[in-house]
Amino acid sequence: MRRLGALEAAVMDVLWRASGPRRVRDVLEELTRDRQLAYTTVMTVLDNLHRKGWVQRAMDGRAYRYRPVASREEATAKALRDLLDSSEDVEAVLLHFARSVSPHESAVLRDALGPGDGGPAGSRG
């Protein structure tokens, strides 16, 4: 997945908050609460997101309905993975990140990496 522009991110936010697939008109109505956009602009953005692999679409009558390929959390994790994969020094990136997390985030990571998952606690035993 490629990174998103500002309008693409706004469209994805609408889709991630939605309870199901949305038509171009549905997305437009959500977005025009904050700004003025043309129907064709939103249609082009959704088409681009489909081409980039961010959304799936299915024909419903004469209009497509769009839905995210992945949840916001899955897409964020994929973006982090892509950043790590493109780094020349993954260890340095991870260390900087580890120093920036909150105590709660640190606890979540420790729990996720619990004993036996290759973390320091699992490698001692």
pLDDT in tens, 22-78: 999 999 999 998 889 999 999 999 999 999 999 999 999 999 999 999 999 999 999
Q: Which two tokens stand for residue 82?
A: 């892509």
Domain ranges of the chain: 6-68, 72-114
Rg of the chain (C-alpha set): 19
Q: Which two tokens stand for residue 77?
A: 């994790």
Q: Residue 99's CB: how many other CB atoms inside 10 A?
A: 8
pLDDT at 63: 94
Chain centre distance of CA 12: 8
pLDDT at 33: 87
pLDDT in tens, 93-119: 999 988 999 999 989 989 998 886 555
- Check whether 20 has a pLDDT greater than 90: yes
CATH topology assigned to domain 6-68: Arc Repressor Mutant, subunit A (1.10.10)
